[in-house]
Structure 1
Amino acid sequence: MSKTAARLLVDCLVEQGATRAFTVPGESFLPVLDALATCDEIETITCRQEGGVTFMACADGSMTGQPGVAFVTRGPGATNASIGVHVAMQDSQPMILFIGDVDRSMRDREGFQEVDFPAFFAPIAKWSARIDDASRIPEYVARAWSTAISGRPGPVVLALPEDMLHEDGITSPVRPAVTRPAQAPCPDVMATIMQMIGDAAAPLAIVGGAGWNERTRHYFTEFAERIGIPVATAFRRQDALPPASKVYAGNLGYGPSPKLVERVKAADLLLVVGARLGEATTDGYALITPDHQDQRLIHVHPDPEELGRVYRTDLPVCADMAEFAESAALWDDGDAIDFDCGAQAHAEWLEWNTPREEAKFDLDLAVAMGTCRRLLPEDAIICNGAGNFAGWWHRYWRYAGYPSQLAPTAGAMGYGVPAAVAAALRFPDRCVVAAAGDGDFLMNAQELATAAQYDCDMLVILFDNSTYGTIRMHQEREYPGQEASTHLANPDFARMAESYGGWGVRVENNAQFDTAMAEAMSRKGIRLIHCITDIEQLSAAGATVSGMRGG
């Protein structure tokens, strides 16, 4: 049966399992929009800016393990969308971005909004290409889907020439759904891993990252608890292990527990599963150096190109995360391994993770986190972008559900609100929180309009200190007392939420915050708590402006 190129494209996505597509419409892919409008299997979500589109698609891919699907137009649409592609790459999340392109006959003339997309996206995507032949759409879509989910997951970008999408009479068959390759570690490798762990005096595991899922979480927790090894999660991968696990040692990244940092330094064996050991997790490659003298490294990752890429690796293991975790959990060679350091590390983390009860500021964020822990469901999905405000969530919130942390390891601002929209659509029965700073929030606040349009149930907790706090912190360290370009003049955020048909309130102390949280939890729809905070609360680790000036 013949069909148009655009209809074939949509049918291919349906066959691969796509259920949702995010877009800002453009004239360059009108045939696709028309095909999507009559496709019952794929819900099309119209967004307000292309950065929001790809942030939503990235978050959707993170939650499902299948590529988040995005459609944008050429030129400004694609360049706006590039931020989400970069995040998906650094976060190892599957995504496919389709870009409406200029007609094939107009290429290389610098036509209207023309960009060489395969070249533009090549450095920040796993694969970028253009579909010039409509008959090959099934081939390209299947390859894009497979590339996005295989090995280290990531983004794929496909340009769609406008004239190609209008072609009719295409008879190419839809290709069947592809699956992620599952590679289990061989018994000899597992025996070597267990021997190396058994020979260690102070082992430590660092987990979370490429290909991690609920099955991996279950089996790795079972394995780690059986042998008693302390487990730290990589930067913004805190839901990779249940926080109630008796071996959970906390998270690495910005502002980790000092006792966990010392444990990492003292470890004689590091079992790294899924994590790339990037700059944030390793504190600039200093906490764990690329040569890591006096430490042995077992690195388990689904992509062979990551093994040995940066770090000297004593035992590189290329395996699917869930297959490895299950093999470890079921391994039994008769030699019991039993460490007590896991329980000790967990006790240290519990102390670090407990919020203080006495406020040191009018609106003390540590105390406020205690309120959040009392009133929010433990499986709430916390979505945030970048900024020092996130440190209080990383330190004090317990990411008990899976998935429950949507936060860019790439450190992109503006991710929280779009991610919360994607989460509210994917999990309408779970509590979804967009945690934001004032600067972070205004990067993509317009996606509240998307949330309103699709009746999303989400809570925004916005910390407002009228500054780009992270940059101010660095300024105070490098140029004490000299503020430059970081002060912000902000709107009334509560009224902004009301303008989108939601509920909003401004709070200035912890008593007001407690009341507002209780009220918010009794409501549905868009809810926003505008928290006025003191610039002196620069970080959850205790950094202050005056303290930096004095230090």
Structure 2
Amino acid sequence: MKASDLMVKCLEEEGIEYIFGVPGEENADFMMSLESSDDIRFVLTRHEQGAAFMAEIYGRLTGSPAACLGTLGPGATNLITGVADANMDRAPMLVITGQGSTSRLHKESHQIMDVVKMFEPVTKWASTIVHPDTIPEIVRKSVRIARSEKPGAVLIELPEDVAEHDTPALPMKPIRFRRPVAGQEMIAAAVEKIRQAKRPVILAGNGCVRKRASEYLRKFCDDTGIGVLNTFMAKGAVDYDKPYCLYTIGLGAKDIGTCAIDAADLVISIGFDMVEYHPKLWNAEGNKSIIHIDFTPAEVDKHYHPEIELVGDIAHSLSALVHEFEDIETDFDLGQQQATRADMKSEIDNFENEETEGTIKPQKVLLEVQKIYGDDGLLLSDVGAHKMWIARHYHCKTPNGCLIPNGFCSMGFALPGAIAASLVDPDRKIMGIAGDAGFMMNVQEMETATRLNSNITMMVWEDNAYGLIAWKQWAQFGKHTDLSFNNPDWEALAKAFAWQYQAVPNSKDLQQAMQNAIDHKGPSLIVIPIDYDENKKLTARLGELSCSI
């Protein structure tokens, strides 16, 4: 068969369901082959970056890769931000790019650049297909690498002349392998270390939102009562209503959750990604006793030097701990953890009766959003000042119930991400929250949402500025540079793309507006004026923070 037909057959064999992207001339053969597929759906996007974010969210929600596609040159460079975001946030993804004919890759030529080298820093592996007979091996290797812990992005480049060639090769059948597990002697050492501790605390990272890992983490905490601080990307690893949920940690400043780590004589880090929250922020002296439980060995860092490492499948390691502690009586001092939970819960609940007009406080918005989406809905956060408030004040009951980009932290994530989430689970309540800056970075995907009739709600927090940068500059220098801009007529914008639109300037109208959006079939836009004076107040409060115990 033709090489491009073979590549599609290989992707089908791997169970690839979606390819998001913008094709070009150099993808022409591949696109013709893809059109004949009954198993793979191609979703045309309005920008390659949006395609990459869509593939990322599919990967984070399902654990299996989707693909994003671009042509050579500018098509490939447009993909790279979303690809880097997926790779650093541990989302399995295939990246497929076209390339010019191999007969002109060795010299100066129109739109030619070394795409493989360009993508090597932001992928787990990047390769070009130089011979059509190698397609089955390259596709099989790419999917295996993308799916293997820790998951990430893999690039396959298909030059246009290679795509045209005939080949006798056939797809390879995927054979899955079981992840390696931690040794029993190390598990026994970890059990003994935990038994000897008086004030252990769990730091749950991105690896804990895998379904089985979350299940056993909850059982372990039910048995032991040990409290859990989750990173931004580990929201929902434990139920926020449980007494051992100590909420989220990860701000650059000392926060309430830091008190639980300060008081701990043992930190059990599970699925922790250093790219999210550097250990120097919670282990400045480098003297904390640490157990590392993860798919891979610990990164070498003077602030993160574990005494014991359980390297292997996280769910298996947690299952082993659950089994060991079933018959062990524990006598932990959890007073500081209980105080930490109470103090943070008080801050969250403090805005229940807050009623404002003209602007709405971030805490109030998220309290109302959580009432509707926190149990079984999905919230996607873009990047900006709102992300800090979502991380601190929004909590959910299910793994991956709140998706925040926190490794690479790219703006423009929420709108395309919400569209992908609606494809994965069209019956789920899905909301994306973005700042006015982040929303405009991929605003063109409003058309994609309309074309797909995506049942999503996008909420824009309007402050007419790059609010997070202003917040950080103010905190460091006492002032900030000019970061203000103008916004479009939101109602006219929504109308132009055939979205439902609601402006909500009053906190008392939030609940009804969100329900109206959920009841509407198709995409909906809610714009609220946000009170970012709360940013300075939070910085001042955290600067004076003292732990309850």
Q: Same fold (TM over 0.5)?
A: yes
Query: 1:407: which partner in 2?
Result: 404
Is residue 98 of structure 2 the alignment partner of residue 103 of structure 1?
Answer: no
Query: 1:35: which partner in 2?
Result: 33
Question: CA separation of 1:189/1:459 partners in 2, compared to 1, >3 Å: closer, same or farther?
Answer: same
Native 8 Å contact 1:520 1:527 kept in 2: yes
AA partner of residue 183 (structure 2): C
AA partner of residue 253 (structure 1): G
Native 8 Å contact 1:219 1:322 kept in 2: yes
Q: Per-residue CA shift, 1:204-242, capped at 9, x if unaligned? A: 111132474111111111012211111111233212222
Q: Per-residue CA shift, 1:392-430, capped at 9, x if unaligned? A: 322332222333122211211000001101101101010
Query: 1:456: which partner in 2?
Result: 454
**Partners in 2 of 1:84 and 1:310 — Cα distance?**
30
Query: 1:16: which partner in 2?
Result: 14
Is residue 361 of structure 2 the alignment partner of residue 367 of structure 1?
Answer: no
State the secondary structure of the residue aligned to 1:59.
helix
Bigger Cα displacement from structure 2, 216-225 vs 334-343: 334-343
Q: Per-residue CA shift, 1:460-485, capped at 9, x if unaligned? A: 1110000000111122234434532x
**Partners in 1 of 2:426 and 2:73 — Cα distance?**
34
Superposed displacement of residue 256, structure 1: 8.0
Is residue 123 of structure 2 the alignment partner of residue 125 of structure 1?
Answer: yes
**Partners in 1 of 2:515 and 2:467 — Cα distance?**
28
Is residue 308 of structure 2 the alignment partner of residue 315 of structure 1?
Answer: yes
Native 8 Å contact 2:198 2:331 kept in 1: no
State the secondary structure of the residue aligned to 1:367.
helix
Unmatched 5+ residue regions in structure 2?
Answer: 545-549
Native 8 Å contact 2:209 2:399 kept in 1: no
State the secondary structure of the residue aligned to 2:371.
helix
Query: 2:84: which partner in 1?
Result: 86
Query: 1:416: which partner in 2?
Result: 414
Is residue 284 of structure 2 the alignment partner of residue 286 of structure 1?
Answer: no
State the secondary structure of the residue aligned to 2:179.
coil
Native 8 Å contact 2:283 2:304 kept in 1: no
Native 8 Å contact 1:198 1:337 kept in 2: yes
Q: Per-residue CA shift, 1:28-78, capped at 9, x if unaligned? A: 111111122111111111101011111111111111111221111111111
**Partners in 2 of 1:396 and 1:482 — Cα distance?**
25
**Partners in 1 of 2:50 and 2:381 — Cα distance?**
13
Superposed displacement of residue 185, structure 1: 2.1
Query: 1:496: which partner in 2?
Result: 493
Query: 1:532: which partner in 2?
Result: 529
State the secondary structure of the residue aligned to 1:442.
helix
Q: Per-residue CA shift, 1:336-373, capped at 9, x if unaligned? A: 23535255544444223325122467322322223223
AA partner of residue 270 (structure 2): V
Native 8 Å contact 2:348 2:367 kept in 1: no
Query: 2:354: which partner in 1?
Result: 358
Query: 2:432: which partner in 1?
Result: 434
Question: CA separation of 1:177/1:226 partners in 2, compared to 1, >3 Å: closer, same or farther?
Answer: same
Bigger Cα displacement from structure 2, 502-511 vs 43-52: 502-511
Superposed displacement of residue 510, structure 1: 1.4
Bigger Cα displacement from structure 2, 299-308 vs 520-529: 299-308
Question: CA separation of 1:272/1:20 partners in 2, compared to 1, >3 Å: closer, same or farther?
Answer: same
The structure 1 segments of at least 4 consecutive aligned residues displaced by more than 4 Å after TM superposition are: 307-310, 342-345
Question: CA separation of 1:310/1:58 partners in 2, compared to 1, >3 Å: closer, same or farther?
Answer: farther
Native 8 Å contact 2:208 2:214 kept in 1: no
Q: Per-residue CA shift, 1:476-521, capped at 9, x if unaligned? A: 234434532x101101223312221110022222134344223223
Question: CA separation of 1:118/1:376 partners in 2, compared to 1, >3 Å: closer, same or farther?
Answer: closer
Bigger Cα displacement from structure 2, 318-327 vs 462-471: 318-327
Query: 1:397: which partner in 2?
Result: 394
Native 8 Å contact 1:389 1:539 kept in 2: no
Superposed displacement of residue 543, structure 1: 6.0
Unmatched 5+ residue regions in structure 1?
Answer: none
**Partners in 1 of 2:365 and 2:208 — Cα distance?**
33
**Partners in 2 of 1:118 and 1:238 — Cα distance?**
34
Superposed, which structure 2 residues align to 1:509-524 within 5 Å?
Answer: 509-524=506-521
State the secondary structure of the residue aligned to 2:169.
coil
What TM-score, normalized by structure 2, do the two folds share? Answer: 0.92
Question: CA separation of 1:180/1:86 partners in 2, compared to 1, >3 Å: closer, same or farther?
Answer: farther
Which of 46, 50, 53 pairs up with 1:52?
Answer: 50
AA partner of residue 328 (structure 2): D
Is residue 478 of structure 2 the alignment partner of residue 480 of structure 1?
Answer: yes
**Partners in 1 of 2:137 and 2:43 — Cα distance?**
26
Bigger Cα displacement from structure 2, 171-180 vs 138-147: 171-180
Question: CA separation of 1:56/1:542 partners in 2, compared to 1, >3 Å: closer, same or farther?
Answer: same
Query: 1:232: which partner in 2?
Result: 229
Question: CA separation of 1:483/1:525 partners in 2, compared to 1, >3 Å: closer, same or farther?
Answer: same
Q: Per-residue CA shift, 1:246-269, capped at 9, x if unaligned? A: 311111112788331111122111
AA partner of residue 397 (structure 1): Y
Query: 1:302: which partner in 2?
Result: 295
**Partners in 1 of 2:259 and 2:535 — Cα distance?**
23
**Partners in 2 of 1:543 and 1:416 — Cα distance?**
29
AA partner of residue 125 (structure 2): W
Is residue 318 of structure 2 the alignment partner of residue 328 of structure 1?
Answer: no
**Partners in 2 of 1:198 and 1:479 — Cα distance?**
46
Question: CA separation of 1:480/1:329 partners in 2, compared to 1, >3 Å: closer, same or farther?
Answer: same
State the secondary structure of the residue aligned to 1:298.
strand
Native 8 Å contact 1:502 1:527 kept in 2: yes
Question: CA separation of 1:420/1:180 partners in 2, compared to 1, >3 Å: closer, same or farther?
Answer: farther
Question: CA separation of 1:68/1:337 partners in 2, compared to 1, >3 Å: closer, same or farther?
Answer: farther
Is residue 187 of structure 2 the alignment partner of residue 190 of structure 1?
Answer: yes
**Partners in 2 of 1:198 and 1:413 — Cα distance?**
43
**Partners in 1 of 2:270 and 2:368 — Cα distance?**
33
**Partners in 2 of 1:543 and 1:18 — Cα distance?**
49
**Partners in 2 of 1:177 and 1:308 — Cα distance?**
37
- Identity, % of aligned pairs? 26
Superposed displacement of residue 455, structure 1: 1.2
What TM-score, normalized by structure 1, do the two folds share? Answer: 0.92
State the secondary structure of the residue aligned to 1:285.
helix
Native 8 Å contact 1:461 1:528 kept in 2: yes
Question: CA separation of 1:310/1:14 partners in 2, compared to 1, >3 Å: closer, same or farther?
Answer: farther
**Partners in 2 of 1:421 and 1:387 — Cα distance?**
20
Native 8 Å contact 1:117 1:129 kept in 2: no
